[in-house]
Structure 1
Amino acid sequence: MLEMSLWDSPGQEDYDKLRPISYPNADVALICFSLVQPDTLVNVVERWIPEVTYFQPDTLVNVVERWIPEVTYYCPRVPVIIVGTKKDLRNVVDTRKSVTSYEGRRVAEKVGAFAYLECSALT
């Protein structure tokens, strides 16, 4: 039997002290960012990765600057999967501002993520 629980942790600073409650006993960390908002990817790298790596016995900029540091801090031995969301909107919004698959994979490699995935709520 497989049991899986998903915790959607808010990224706002108001929740900084509550978010670590979701990290103990985590087996994997999914860190999501919006493919159509590049600054969310930087936030993942600089905040989330450090937070998760400490605790385990929404743009490209956010992934790098915020989420990667936070996650790696609270869950040091937990595999991290970087997930680009809103893949379907690349063709709808100004694609010059969207994060490409290549850029997402490069950031995932840079932070030592286990994998990089992209998804859409539509497909």
Structure 2
Amino acid sequence: MEPLPIKILLLGDANVGKSTFLARMSKGSSALEGKVEIALLRDTDQPFVFEVKNRKGGYRLEFYDTESPENWRLLEPDLIIICYDISQRLSLINMQRVWIKEVRSTFQSEAILPILVLGLKRDLRSEDDPNGIIYPQEAMRVSQEMRADKYAECSAVTGELFKLAFEDMFNTAVQTTTAKGGQSDGGCVAM
């Protein structure tokens, strides 16, 4: 049976870690945990396609990063992941002020389109900068205010929480292929 395609759009400021996240995924299941060498993917190779199977069947995850598509607003994604850099407060602010507004104004299906928030570069969270620390509780609160369906964070470089974030993202993506869809029943859920 042919894998079921699922379009996933990654949004967020430049340099928040989206490319590194995708590069770790490109290493396959062996790279879901632990430290591995990561070679960044070329933006011209989009969509980045990953075939994944579970008990229900095979899926073709097609990831689009905002850096490359000339006009990502023309895509019809099944799932949107808004990314921010845990070590850069401005990227969290832009997620609220820019990216969620872009989603709402761009996609007609926004009312049924599942939105995940993904905090990247978890390994760079530093207690040394009290003004720059973005704790998970704050990011979860912001995600709830944005009416996102789920929140997760991970480090693509070290692999910390990467497997958990990927599994929850994959499960949400698979739900978009069902009649129920991928949105949560209400409120933001921590992954």
Pair in the same fold by TM > 0.5: yes
Query: 1:68-83 alignment to 2 at 5 Å?
Result: 68-75=100-107, 76=110, 77-83=112-118
Of the structure 1 ranges 72-81 and 92-101, higher mean CA displacement relative to structure 2 is found in 92-101
Deviation at 1:88, TM superposition (A): 0.7
Deviation at 1:68, TM superposition (A): 0.5
Partner of 1:6, secondary structure, is strand
More strand by share: 2
Aligned: 1:64 with 2:96 = yes
Q: Which runs of 4+ in 1 moved over 3 A?
A: none
Other-structure match for 1:4: 61
Aligned: 1:32 with 2:89 = no
Aligned: 1:20 with 2:83 = no
Query: Where does structure 2 lack aligned partners over 5 or more consecutive residues?
Result: 1-57, 160-191
Query: Where does structure 1 lack aligned partners over 5 or more consecutive residues?
Result: 42-60
Which of 136, 159, 166 aligns to 1:101? It is 136
More helix by share: 1
CA contact (8 A) 2:81 2:116 kept: yes
CA contact (8 A) 1:36 1:93 kept: no
Cα 1:80–1:68 shift into 2, 3 Å: same
Deviation at 1:94, TM superposition (A): 2.5
Larger radius of gyration: 2
Taking the aligned partners of 1:18 and 1:29, their CA distance within structure 2 comes to 15
Partner of 2:87, secondary structure, is coil
Deviation at 1:39, TM superposition (A): 1.2
Identity over the aligned pairs, expressed in percent?
28
Alpha-carbon RMSD: 2.1
CA contact (8 A) 2:127 2:133 kept: no
Number of residue pairs matched?
A: 98
Deviation at 1:3, TM superposition (A): 1.2
Taking the aligned partners of 2:124 and 2:150, their CA distance within structure 1 comes to 22
Taking the aligned partners of 2:94 and 2:73, their CA distance within structure 1 comes to 18
